[in-house]
């Protein structure tokens, strides 16, 4: 299940909350609709009359990953080229985008290629939980105040 992450500075009011991934239904007109976890299949059926596996085969489902820009601080969901349907749907929503795949993506707000996964350097919600238990920290310099340290904290699993 996707982890819900809090990204916060220890010096100022910079705070962001973002899920590590989100599922989007691609409509015939190209518009995307977010399918809320854990009811993606139910919502997909309500919109299309088709279940998630069929829509995945039709390439009408995108899983996007929560990324945070270390330059401007904006969080958003991004499609990772080549990651769709590689290991199955559950793996896709519970994993993170690899650093090598992220480094070539530009921030939607500032255009810089300084994005990183909202789950930090770990590889998914299981490892984010292990990080919480064993205290391993992941951080970057605050893009808002330039003085504080921004850390990642798992606040839940959707």
| pLDDT score for 134 | 45
Please report, for the chain, the start and end positions of each structural domain, with discontinuous segments joined by +: 3-157
pLDDT digits (tens, 9 = 90+) for 123-147: 445 554 545 444 455 789 999 999 9
Distance CA 20, CA 64 (A): 9
Cα angle vertex 99, ends 87, 40, to 5°?
Answer: 40
| pLDDT score for 75 | 96
57: tokens are 């085969």
Q: What percent of the chain has pLDDT over 70?
A: 84
Is the per-residue pLDDT at 52 higher than 60?
A: yes
Supply φ then ψ for residue 132, to 5 degrees: -65, -45
């Amino acid at each position: 299940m996707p982890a819900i992450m809090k990204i916060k500075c220890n010096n100022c009011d910079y705070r962001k909350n973002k899920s590590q991934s989100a599922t989007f239904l691609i409509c015939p007109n190209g518009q995307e609709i977010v399918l809320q976890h854990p009811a993606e299949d139910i919502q997909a059926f309500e919109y299309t009359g088709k279940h998630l596996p069929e829509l995945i085969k039709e390439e009408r489902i995108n899983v996007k990953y929560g990324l945070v820009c270390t330059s401007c601080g904006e969080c958003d969901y991004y499609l990772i080229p080549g990651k769709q349907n590689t290991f199955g749907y559950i793996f896709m929503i519970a994993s993170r985008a690899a650093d090598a795949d992220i480094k070539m993506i530009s921030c939607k707000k500032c255009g810089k290629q300084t994005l990183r996964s909202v789950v930090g350097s770990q590889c998914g919600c299981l490892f984010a939980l292990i990080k919480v238990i064993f205290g391993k920290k992941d951080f970057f310099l605050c893009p808002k105040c330039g003085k504080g340290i921004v850390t990642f904290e798992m606040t839940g699993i959707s």
